[in-house]
């Protein structure tokens, strides 16, 4: 996995495509395709320079398709060479990075001064790109070290930096665990030898993890990332000694990949659904030809165990809330048979939220899967052993992640794990249930197709809503929704956990969250509203709803509830804004459809005294 093997190789005419980027009619798709390929540092550099040289018009147009992140970076190493690699890795994950880089080795100073380079630039996040050499323990010796916990100073140092950026820059940090360099004094004893570098780093990593988990900051587990690559490959002594470059060439690309994935996770852009091919992917052989007895799967056959391993990985992802789907060229009856009757199948029919086996092209089948689940096509990962299918999907649906698979099924799982599509910053109880909820949704879809009209369908769902303000139980999920809901989101305001708690505590704000249940199951918390209260008038600051409950008239219920509460607060007007984004066209007409009138300023206003309560068929518990 050392050279980002899951990415396809760049096209042969890579250089020419970079050179002609400006004159190309299709700049955005070309950039996407090039960035999505397995580029070396020099190639990243070439593509990056072609992008920044684009004319203003083209550049602006290109930026539209990406989520912008202004990223402050402090480092104890040389950062001059890293921008191209970082920038291209982020493009791959749908993020446009604007880096703000502090001078060499200025982490503490930068954090403490309100007008430092980083704090003055008001970044969205600050990356602490620090390795063990940033800390005092790097120069400590076994002889000079007291017994006990060795990493105290280092933890204090990191805390000071984090608090500085929080106070003076109002910005959260990405904090690393530390890679353990290939050092050795007395062998395995080092692990518990007071003052040994190894023990100090282990102590630090052990202490920092829970500390960050309880904060608004984010952890980048560099220790593990470096171990994956091998620490001999991670650290390059010569580069450090000659130029203070902290990472080897190879390590840098891998590090940026994982950093970009974390940024995508923070921005809610991680993948949500794993779509699996069947023949020669989930099992060896072709079910239509070889039959139940003939396919290779499970114990007693090395290749069969490799396919079973992939199934176990998928099942584990499902337990973490990732949706599973099947997309196969097969007769459905043949394709389903192993899921029902093969003893070595790890995955069962009920694990698959959408099962598509037919002879249509995979591009339309993938579109169908995304539509059925009501998720963006860019939330899909498509796993297929057939290079031709992969290429067709890449060409037609560039937003779908399509990993290159090695020819050996024994390496499938490792490749998918290395690609790291499912980076998640917070895992709540809700997430565990998610895959199941999506499966319930596709059952609802079937019911809807059989119902005569929408209202009778909604009646038959027997929906129940539980509404309340934010509390201990819900604020993590509320924050998650605020940061990753894109489609049904009127203002796309993003807030941290701390800010969410602040809204709840403030008497100036009205906070509402709703959970929706029906006869198929519990959807969990799916809608959030935050209103700013002023005398006589409430203003909607945030109104969002998860895609999984769209077209259920929950928005009508929410509107009824806001109006009820606003009236009780003696307000006569409710106002709101629709701020268009690349993804929220869905709610462009929400306000007029609810009876709001547009003002000269462009914002929407509802006269509460004349509001017609919508009373949708949802009972309130």
CB of 51: closest distance to another protein in angstroms? 12
Q: What is the dihedral of CA 206, 207, 208, 211, to 10 degrees?
A: 130
Does the protein bind another protein through residue 233 (CB under 8 A)? Answer: no
Give which of 41, 34, 32 is closest to 3, Cα–Cα. Answer: 41
Q: According to CB under 8 A, which one of 26, 80, 289, 471 is a site residue for another protein? A: 80
Candidate ranges 35-43, 263-271, 316-324, 563-571; the one touching another protein (CB under 8 A): 35-43
Please give the Cα distance from 41 to 38 (Å, whole number): 10
CB contact set of 361 (below 8 Å; sequence gap of 6+): 392
Long-range residue pairs from 162-167, CB within 8 A, at least 24 positions apart, any chain: 162/111, 162/215, 162/217, 163/111, 164/108, 164/110, 164/111, 164/112, 165/72, 165/110, 165/111, 165/118, 165/119, 165/126, 166/216
Output 50 or 491, the one with its CB closest to another protein. Answer: 50
Candidate ranges 231-239, 254-262, 489-497, 608-616; the one touching another protein (CB under 8 A): 231-239
Output 146 or 241, the one with its CB closest to another protein. Answer: 241
Candidate ranges 36-44, 192-200, 279-287, 475-483; the one touching another protein (CB under 8 A): 36-44
Q: According to CB under 8 A, which one of 241, 333, 343, 388 is a site residue for another protein? A: 241
Tokens 């550049």 identify what position?
A: 59
Helix (H) or strand (E) holding 127: strand 125-129
Three-class secondary structure assignment of 482-549: HHHCCCEECCCCCCCHHHHHHHHHCCCEEEEEEEEEECCEEEEEEEEEEEEEECCEEEEEEEEECHHH
CB of 313: closest distance to another protein in angstroms? 32
Residues of span 48-77 touching another protein by CB under 8 A: 49
CA 34-277-324 angle, to 5 degrees, is 95
CB of 99: closest distance to another protein in angstroms? 16
Output 53 or 348, the one with its CB closest to another protein. Answer: 53
Q: According to CB under 8 A, which one of 126, 174, 245, 481 is a site residue for another protein? A: 245
Does the protein bind another protein through residue 443 (CB under 8 A)? Answer: no
Does the protein bind another protein through residue 615 (CB under 8 A)? Answer: no
CB of 252: closest distance to another protein in angstroms? 10
Does the protein bind another protein through residue 239 (CB under 8 A)? Answer: yes
- Pairing, β 521-534 against β 509-518: antiparallel
Listed in sequence order, the DSSP H helices in 268-346 are 287-294, 302-319, 332-341
Output 37 or 196, the one with its CB closest to another protein. Answer: 37
Asked if 353 contacts 371 with a C-beta cutoff of 8 angstroms, the reply is: no
Q: Burial of 353 by CB count in 10 Å (0-12 exposed, 13-18 middle, 19+ buried)? A: buried
Q: According to CB under 8 A, which one of 24, 45, 460, 493 is a site residue for another protein? A: 45
Q: According to CB under 8 A, which one of 147, 238, 449, 621 is a site residue for another protein? A: 238
CB of 521: closest distance to another protein in angstroms? 53
x/- track of binding to another protein for residues 249-268 (CB under 8 A): x-------------------
Asked if 145 contacts 98 with a C-beta cutoff of 8 angstroms, the reply is: no
Does the protein bind another protein through residue 43 (CB under 8 A)? Answer: yes
Strand stretches in 320-476, DSSP E: 323-329, 354-358, 380-383, 463-468
Does the protein bind another protein through residue 486 (CB under 8 A)? Answer: no
Does the protein bind another protein through residue 610 (CB under 8 A)? Answer: no
**Which residues are 274's β-sheet partners?**
324, 381
Candidate ranges 241-249, 390-398, 457-465, 538-546; the one touching another protein (CB under 8 A): 241-249
Does the protein bind another protein through residue 13 (CB under 8 A)? Answer: no
CB of 98: closest distance to another protein in angstroms? 22
Candidate ranges 41-49, 109-117, 119-127, 327-335; the one touching another protein (CB under 8 A): 41-49
For the chain, the residue count is 621
Q: According to CB under 8 A, which one of 9, 16, 22, 81 is a site residue for another protein? A: 81
CB of 108: closest distance to another protein in angstroms? 25
Q: What is the dihedral of CA 482, 488, 491, 496, to 10 degrees?
A: 0
Output 46 or 58, the one with its CB closest to another protein. Answer: 46
Output 40 or 106, the one with its CB closest to another protein. Answer: 40
Does the protein bind another protein through residue 12 (CB under 8 A)? Answer: no
CB of 241: closest distance to another protein in angstroms? 6
Please give the Cα distance from 128 to 110 (Å, whole number): 11
Instruction: Give SS3 for 609.
Output: helix
Chain residues binding another protein by CB under 8 A are: 40-43, 45-46, 49, 78, 80-81, 237-239, 241-243, 245, 249
């Amino acid at each position: 996995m050392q050279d980002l093997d899951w990415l396809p190789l760049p096209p042969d005419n890579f250089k020419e495509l970079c050179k002609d980027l400006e004159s190309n009619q299709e700049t955005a798709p070309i950039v996407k395709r090039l960035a999505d390929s397995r580029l070396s540092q020099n190639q990243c550099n070439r593509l990056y320079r072609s992008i920044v040289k684009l004319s203003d018009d083209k550049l602006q147009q290109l930026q539209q398709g990406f989520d912008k992140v202004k990223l402050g970076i402090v480092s104890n190493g040389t950062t001059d060479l890293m921008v191209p690699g970082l920038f291209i890795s982020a493009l791959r994950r749908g993020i446009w990075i604007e880096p703000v880089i502090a001078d060499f080795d200025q982490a503490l100073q930068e954090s403490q001064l309100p007008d430092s380079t980083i704090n003055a630039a008001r970044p969205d996040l600050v990356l602490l790109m620090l390795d063990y050499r940033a800390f005092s323990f790097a120069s400590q010796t076994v002889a000079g070290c007291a017994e006990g916990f060795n990493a105290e100073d280092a933890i204090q140092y990191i805390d000071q930096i984090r608090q500085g950026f929080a106070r003076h820059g109002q910005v959260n940090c990405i904090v690393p665990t530390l890679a353990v360099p290939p050092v050795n004094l007395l062998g395995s004893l080092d692990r518990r030898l007071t003052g040994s570098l190894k023990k100090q780093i282990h102590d630090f990593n052990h202490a920092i993890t829970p500390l960050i988990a309880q904060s608004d900051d984010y952890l980048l587990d560099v220790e593990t990332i470096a171990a994956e690559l091998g620490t001999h490959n991670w650290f390059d002594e010569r580069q450090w000694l000659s130029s203070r470059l902290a990472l080897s060439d190879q390590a840098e690309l891998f590090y940026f990949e994982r950093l970009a994935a974390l940024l995508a996770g923070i921005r809610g852009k991680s993948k949500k659904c794993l779509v699996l091919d069947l023949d020669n992917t989930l099992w060896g052989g072709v079910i239509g030809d070889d039959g139940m007895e003939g396919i290779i799967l499970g114990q007693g056959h090395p290749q069969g165990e490799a396919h079973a391993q992939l199934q176990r990985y998928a099942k584990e992802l499902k337990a973490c809330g990732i949706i599973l789907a099947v997309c196969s060229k097969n007769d459905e009856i043949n394709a389903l048979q192993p899921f029902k009757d093969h003893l070595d199948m790890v995955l069962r029919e009920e694990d698959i939220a959408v099962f598509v086996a037919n002879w249509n092209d995979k591009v339309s089948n993938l579109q169908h899967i995304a539509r059925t689940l009501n998720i963006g096509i860019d939330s899909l990962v498509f796993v297929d052993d057939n290079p031709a299918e992969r290429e067709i999907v890449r060409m037609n649906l560039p937003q779908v992640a399509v990993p290159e698979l090695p020819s050996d099924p024994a390496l499938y799982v490792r490749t998918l794990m290395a690609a790291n599509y499912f980076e998640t910053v917070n895992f709540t109880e809700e997430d565990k249930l998610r895959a199941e909820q999506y499966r319930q949704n596709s059952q609802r879809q079937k019911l809807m197709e059989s119902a005569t009209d929408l209202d009778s369908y909604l009646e038959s769902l027997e929906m129940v809503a539980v509404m309340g303000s934010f509390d201990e139980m819900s604020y993590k999920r509320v924050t998650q929704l605020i940061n990753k809901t894109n489609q049904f989101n009127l203002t796309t305001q993003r807030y941290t956990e701390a800010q969410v708690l602040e809204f709840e505590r403030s008497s100036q704000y009205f906070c509402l969250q709703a959970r929706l249940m029906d006869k198929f199951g519990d959807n969990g918390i799916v809608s959030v509203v935050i209103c700013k209260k002023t005398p006589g008038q409430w203003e909607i600051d945030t109104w969002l709803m998860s895609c999984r409950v769209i077209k259920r008239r929950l928005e009508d219920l929410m509107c009824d509830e806001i109006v009820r509460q606003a009236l009780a607060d003696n307000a006569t007007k409710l106002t709101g804004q629709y701020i268009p984004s690349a993804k929220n066209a869905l709610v462009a007409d929400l306000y007029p459809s609810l009876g709001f009138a547009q003002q000269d300023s462009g914002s929407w206003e509802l006269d509460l005294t004349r509001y017609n309560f919508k009373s949708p068929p949802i009972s309130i518990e």
